[in-house]
A and B are shown apart, each in its own frame.
Chain A
Amino acid sequence: DSGVTQTPKHLITATGQRVTLRCSPRSGDLSVYWYQQSLDQGLQFLIQYYNGEERAKGNILERFSAQQFPDLHSELNLSSLELGDSALYFCASSVGQLAETQYFGPGTRLLVL
């Protein structure tokens, strides 16, 4: 158990809908990262937040957005969902904002029908 929690574990929705994925980092960790893993793209970095501020951005679509709240939990919002958004979404956390050990949550499996 990494100490990072993600909810929900599974999510099934329809095209065009909007969903919110939630992540709670390990106690004491200030950075939260979001990754997407699909069958054809592998694990891809989406975005990082550090202590409430956006720190780095990767291949995140404009339809997707994230935020980190004062209690350091984070939410990833996915809107206007398409079939291709079906994937595993992982959240990770680390103590600081530099390149160091990241601890990954168990992921949310999203299926868009």
Chain B
Amino acid sequence: DAKTTQPTSMDCAEGRAANLPCNHSTISGNEYVYWYRQIHSQGPQYIIHGLKNNETNEMASLIITEDRKSSTLILPHATLRDTAVYYCIVGHYNAGNMLTFGGGTRLMVKP
């Protein structure tokens, strides 16, 4: 599986957009980009995933660059409850289902 690189930590003001970057320069053509988050010590929570097109759901937007070597998760209006560790994961859709979590980005939303 391709590896990902994320900043260790980021701050964001409450109500502002949080933009979390992820580099996955060795991603292969059939690998998806997944985002999960973990609030404190709760179970990780699925946020969004995509292959090459930008995706949006009720939680966030995922912007994938045209060369697919990087992506950005956007939380449009961050709240204090969005403070969490955000994990960017790449994986094959057809090759087993394990999620390989890296260190993630610790996002702190501040009032």
**Chain A residues in 8 Å Cβ range of B24:** none
Which of chain B's residues have a CB closer than 8 A to the CB of A56?
Answer: 96-98
On chain B, the number of residues with a Cβ less than 8 Å from chain A's Cβ atoms is 23
User: Which of B41, B42, B97 is in CB contact (< 8 Å) with A102?
Assistant: B97
Whether A102 and B94, one on each chain, are in contact in the complex, defined by CB atoms closer than 8 angstroms, is no
Interface presence of A25 (CB below 8 A): no
Count contacts on A: residues with CB < 8 A to the other chain. 29
Q: Name the interface residues of B81-111: CB closer than 8 Å to any CB of A.
A: 87, 91-103
Query: Out of A45, A48, A90, A107, which one reaches B100, CB within 8 Å?
Result: A45
User: What is B's interface to A at a CB cutoff of 8 Å?
Assistant: 32, 38, 41-46, 49, 87, 91-103
Interchain Cβ contacts under 8 Å between A and B, 25 examples: A2-B43, A4-B43, A33-B98, A33-B99, A42-B102, A43-B38, A43-B87, A45-B98, A45-B100, A48-B98, A88-B41, A92-B43, A92-B44, A97-B97, A98-B96, A99-B91, A99-B93, A99-B95, A99-B97, A100-B97, A101-B46, A102-B46, A106-B42, A107-B41, A109-B41
